[in-house]
Amino acid sequence: MAPQQPAQPPPQPYAQDPNARPGYGQSAYEPPPPPAPPEDDGFKMPGFAVRVDPLDLLLEGKLGLELEVGIWKFLSVEVVPTFIVNDSPPTFNLSGREDNVTQESNGLGALAGASFAAGFWLEGKAFKGYVLRAMITNIGTKYLVDGGDTDQASHTERHLLGFFGSYNRWGAFTLGGGMGLGVELNKESRCWVQANATTLSVSNNCPDDEFQLRLDRTVNTQIVDINGPLHPVQFMFRLSLGIVID
């Protein structure tokens, strides 16, 4: 009778180090950990710009503080409070006459009013590149001749404008500008008419929609029209410099 062979151990699915401690030395697959939940950044301050127009300040005596906030990608809103800081700016004396016309705010202190605008940035990011703005202004000014002794009148400029501009950035510093074209919405008129041989009187029924100031007290007085020759068409030019934080 042939001797019985010893039973063979079952085959192992993989090699195992006999000296390894239990649980070690095995190539078991472990799935990757689940992705971390997205972090909640909370409130994020929108980008904003603060600019001024030095030309308007020097030539017109008006300081406009341009405050603009980005509200979504290529959209922004702008508010420009305007302060009258020079009562006798250079543009009041361009004709070479005696400088007897002055201006002051017809609002709250030096604050004469403000403009409001919505901006559409054509390159997809606010505060850089080309921009189209829809704008409305509301600026109240009081004009005085000889301090009000000869003549005085108040007028509110209410303009609806389309504005096209371009802005460059170097870090936080920005420089730009543009031009606007629009129309006067407050078509207020004022003119001096001869009541008789010796006196003049003010009328609000003026054929050319002028807004006149008399420059002296004579019957054959000099007249200045503050509306300008193109009224009610309005042009604006803006040069802006300031900072952007985003």
Residue 173: CATH number of its domain: 2.40.160
Residue 97 maps to a domain: yes
| Tokens of residue 225, six digits | 């029209």
Q: Do the domain assignments include residue 28?
A: no
Contacts of 186 (CB under 8 A, 6+ apart): 155, 156, 157, 158
User: What's the DSSP call for residue 23?
Assistant: T
Cα-Cα end-to-end distance for the chain? 97
Structural domain includes residue 196: no
Each of the 246 residues of the chain gets a pLDDT tens digit; together they read 555 555 566 555 555 555 555 555 555 556 777 776 666 555 678 899 999 999 999 999 999 999 999 998 899 999 999 999 999 998 876 655 557 889 999 999 999 999 999 999 999 999 999 999 999 999 999 999 999 999 999 999 999 999 999 999 999 999 999 999 999 999 889 998 877 666 788 888 887 788 999 988 887 778 888 888 888 999 999 999 999 998
Which residues contact residue 160 at a Cβ distance below 8 angstroms, ignoring those fewer than 6 apart? 135, 136, 182, 183, 185
What's the Cα-to-Cα distance from 203 to each of 32, 95, 210, rounded to whole Å? Answer: 87, 25, 11
| In-domain check, residue 157 | yes
In a domain, 21, yes or no: no
Residue 37 in domain: no
Q: Are the C-beta atoms of residues 63 and 50 closer than 8 Å to each other?
A: no
Which residue in the block uniquely carries the two structure tokens 């054509």?
Answer: 122
Question: Residue 245, Cβ neighbours under 10 Å: how many?
Answer: 11
Question: What tokens were used for 133?
Answer: 């703005």
Residue 160 lies in a domain: yes
* Residue 65 resides in a domain: yes
Which structural domain range is residue 240 located in?
48-186+228-245
| Number of domains forming the structure of the chain | 1
Tokens of 102: 């002055």
Contact 115, 135 (CB under 8 A): yes
How large is the greatest C-alpha to C-alpha distance in the chain, in angstroms?
Answer: 160
